[in-house]
Every structure is written in structure tokens, then in C-alpha cells.
Copies of this chain bind each other. A is one copy, B any other.
Amino acid sequence: MGKLSADHLIIGRSGLARALYDTVRDLPVISPHGHCDPEWFAADAPFSDPANLLIVPDHYVLRMLVSQGVRLEDMGVARRDGAPVETDPRAIWRRFAAQYHLFAGTPTRLWLDYTFETLFGLETPLGPETADATYDRIAACLAQDGFRPRALFGRFGIEVLATTEGALDPLEHHAAIRDSGWGGRVITTYRPDQVTDPEHEGFAGALDRLAEITGGETDTYAGYLEAHRVRRAQFRAHGATATDHGHPTADTADLFASDAAELYDRIRAGRAEPGDAGLFRAQMLTEMARMSAEDGMVMQIHPGSYRNHNAGVFRAFGRDKGFDVPTRTDYVTALRPLLNAVGMEPNLTVILFTLDESAYARELAPLAGAYPCLRLGPAWWFHDSPEGMRRFREMTTETAGFYNTVGFNDDTRAFPSIPARHDMARRVDCAYLAGLVDDGRLREAEAFGLARTLTVDLPRQAYRL
């Protein structure tokens, strides 16, 4: 690295952390959870421009700008009502550059500086004066074949990249990738929230559609569950090894079959009572866990985000615009029904994530350090940062150890930042391991083994890749 990205970033200026990092920095990138668009790899078209690649879709970037008074319209974010927004990518880029100082101390800044330097060869810090030159350089790169999606996939050393698709997705891009003969492994993930959450917009229509695309029916609970089984198999045929569930809470339920069927009937008939939606989501987590114990798909639970907190921004711009906010999340009581139903199943893996760090040492490490099905997902979202990852290790390792964790997820739709994100995670882990050795709590040889284990072995094993 050169002038933008500090060579000693996180691992410090000498010694063991550096040595550990040197053994893992060039290992393959395993990305078992993320939000890249599979069409990129199906079509392999060039990315359009710097702003639409790096700024407009990044909710980390948008939220910080908005917090300091920038309007989403001025950053090119489309309005639902079709009212005009900025369309000039260079104007968007200039506005971003003028506010780049806001990101001091944030992971966004580290990811972008690393990407600017390592991918685009920039050596001058971004700022108002360098906005145009930076834009031109990145745009020129994007015009080259070597910066098309598949080329970057290769250059980034990606062994496998999982995307995430809804239960109704036609999966045509994954089919196209598979049929294209290209060697890159891009797999899907089954994310059925749209058909498991009665409060999701268009839930009833989604159930109709689910029946159609599975060739079955969703009028009965039995038919509905069978439709899930069919879709899961279809996703597996497109490479999926995992499912993903983003619920407001970690609540689970294990109703008697007849009660579950009646609950479904009420909801399906539009006669849901207060509490039914939450109870149905809870029941569906357990049903999904049961199916995972049967079909071997790894189950990921991502609870605890208060989605669309800002009603005005949601009305004007829709989802995922930076106004999802973490909330306090209980796991111990919430997960008990699921765990008592299938927690000891030998074929089941459930990976838990949290936005509530107070649960790491208190709830998640004790649970994952006892139930054989449980593993801890890495520091997530707002906590995908040097301090966040450090706290994750400090608050989980002593109780859950390393082997109940699953390595890193980049969880990103910002494809060019994938190397930066994995690099940061490797640095934090190596710094943590080196600290244990310095502290007399780990032998040096173990640290070298664990650095590799955390980087490649655990994600491969946990996600069955």
C-alpha cells in the first residue's frame, strides 16, 4: 500500500501481527453473505460511472451525508414519485468529495481509500480539489475490460460469492452465469422474508405468486410449507447453501401443527388478529430451521433492525436509505422454542447475527458455546469496523471460543470494496491473535493456525462451501 492506505493499518508497525497478516493477506476471498447484483456477473457489462458504482447505492455513505444536511435528491437517489433528482454523476461525486472529511474515523473512509489506491491507483486524498481528477481516473478505469465484473472477480481472488435473492426471484441471472461457462462461483441465498412476514408490503400477492412459481398451492399451511421446500430446492439448484432471515426480533415459536395451520388460515384470509404477524414470523423461523435440518441449508438469522425509521424518507425514497436503526434484542427467551425443537439436530447450522453488542458476551457467546447447531456470525453492519470487530472478538472468544464463529461476511452490495473489507477483517483478526500471544494467552504456533482457520476454514465449513 502507499499514500492513502496505511501499511500498518490496525496491525501496527512491526512484529507478530504483521507476520500473521502476511500469511493470510493473499488467501482466497470467501464471501458467503452479501448483496451484489448477480446480473453484473451474468451480463459482465462495464460499470457505468464512479458515482453510481460507489456512492448512490451505499447506505453508509448516504446516511452520513444526510446527517449533515445533504439532500438525497442531490445525491442522485431516485424518488418514488418520479420527481427529478440529480442525474449528473460528476455533480454527485463533487458533492461527496466536498464532504469526505465527515468520514474521518469511519470504516467507509478506510474501505474507500483502500479501493481508491489499490484498485484505481490513486495516491492523492479525496477532497474538493481532487474531486474531478479522482472521478476521471476511476471513470477511465471502469471503461477498461479489466474492470468489468468478471475480471474484477478474478482479480479479487474470490473463491465464492453468495448473493441474496427473495423467495420470488426468478434466479435467471444465476442460471445465466451457470450456463455461461464462466468459471466464477456465484451462488444465491434463499431469503424468504417477503413470504414469511405478514406485515411485508404485498404479502397476500406474494403468496399467490409463490404458489404459481412452485406449481403448488398456498391456500393451506401444508401447501405453503411445501412451496418453501420446493423453492429451497430450486435455490439449491442455483448454488445456494444457505438461507437468510431478516426479522425485527429473534422471536421464535413452536406451535402445535393445528394451531400453526389456524394461524396461517387467519392470516391468509385477511383475518389476522393483533400479535398474529409476529407469531407467524416466529413460527416460520422454527419451520425454516426444521427444513434446514432436513435439507442441510445453513440458516442465518439477522434480527434487530428497526426498518424505515424515518417515515418521510421511506415515503419519498423507499427502503434501504440509511434509516434502519438497531434496537435492543433478546436472544435467550426468543430463540428457546426453536432451540428446544431442533437445537440438538446434528445436521443443523444456525448462524446468529446481532446489532446489539450487549448481547455478545451476555447471550450470544453463552448460547453458541453450548448448542451444537449455533454459530456466531461476524460483527454486522454498523459493527463491521475495526472497533466493532475487536469488540466482537473480545466479548465472544472467552466463552464461545473461535470455532463457534464463522469467519467474515462482507455483507455488501459495493462490489469494488470487497477486497478492502476482507483485508480489514484479516487485519483485525491478526491484531487480536497477536494480542493474545503478547498477553501469554495463546501460543504463537496456534495463532498462525488460527489466522488461517478464521480466514478460510471456518467460512468454508460453516457455510458448507
Q: Tell me whether A434 is interfacial, beta carbon within 8 Å.
A: no
Task: Give every chain B residue within 8 A of A385 (Cβ-Cβ).
Answer: 398-399
Q: Tell me whether A112 is interfacial, beta carbon within 8 Å.
A: no
Within 8 A of B (CB), among A289-320: 306, 309-313
Q: Are A442 and B325 in touch, CB under 8 angstroms? A: no
Q: Are A398 and B105 in touch, CB under 8 angstroms? A: yes
Q: Are B309 and A63 in touch, CB under 8 angstroms? A: no
Contact of A105 among B7, B313, B362, B397 (CB under 8 A): B397
Q: Tell me whether A77 is interfacial, beta carbon within 8 Å.
A: no
Task: Give every chain B residue within 8 A of A371 (Cβ-Cβ).
Answer: 66-67, 310
CA distance A312 to B361 in the complex (A): 24
Q: Tell me whether A81 is interfacial, beta carbon within 8 Å.
A: no
Q: Are B401 and A102 in touch, CB under 8 angstroms? A: yes
- In the complex formed, the residue of B with least CB distance to A370 is B63
Residue with the greatest number of chain B CB neighbours at <10 A, chosen from A63, A325, A344, A394: A325
Q: Tell me whether A23 is interfacial, beta carbon within 8 Å.
A: no
Q: Tell me whether A404 is interfacial, beta carbon within 8 Å.
A: yes
Residue with the greatest number of chain B CB neighbours at <10 A, chosen from A69, A361, A365, A385: A361
CA distance A125 to B449 in the complex (A): 15
Report the minimal beta-carbon distance from A366 to chain B, rounded to whole angstroms: 5
Q: Tell me whether A64 is interfacial, beta carbon within 8 Å.
A: yes
Contacts A357-B358, A358-B362, A372-B68 hold; do A401 and B106 have CB atoms under 8 A apart? yes
Q: Tell me whether A55 is interfacial, beta carbon within 8 Å.
A: no
CA distance A382 to B395 in the complex (A): 10
Contacts A67-B400, A358-B362, A439-B12 hold; do A325 and B367 have CB atoms under 8 A apart? yes
Binary CB contact string for chain A from 4 to 25 against chain B (1 if under 8 A, 0 otherwise): 0111111010000000000000
Q: Tell me whether A356 is interfacial, beta carbon within 8 Å.
A: yes
Contact of A441 among B9, B325, B368, B388 (CB under 8 A): B9
- In the complex formed, the residue of B with least CB distance to A368 is B67
Q: Are B374 and A67 in touch, CB under 8 angstroms? A: yes
Task: Give every chain B residue within 8 A of A440 (Cβ-Cβ).
Answer: 5-10
Task: Give every chain B residue within 8 A of A101 (Cβ-Cβ).
Answer: 403, 446
Report the minimal beta-carbon distance from A458 to chain B, rounded to whole angstroms: 12
Report the minimal beta-carbon distance from A403 to chain B, rounded to whole angstroms: 5
A-B pairs, top 6 by smallest CB distance, nearest first, are A6-B440, A9-B440, A385-B398, A105-B397, A358-B358, A63-B370
Q: With A309-B332, A326-B362, A362-B382 given, can you name 9 additional A-B contacts, CB distance below 8 Å?
A: A10-B440, A12-B439, A67-B368, A105-B397, A312-B344, A326-B332, A327-B333, A361-B383, A387-B394
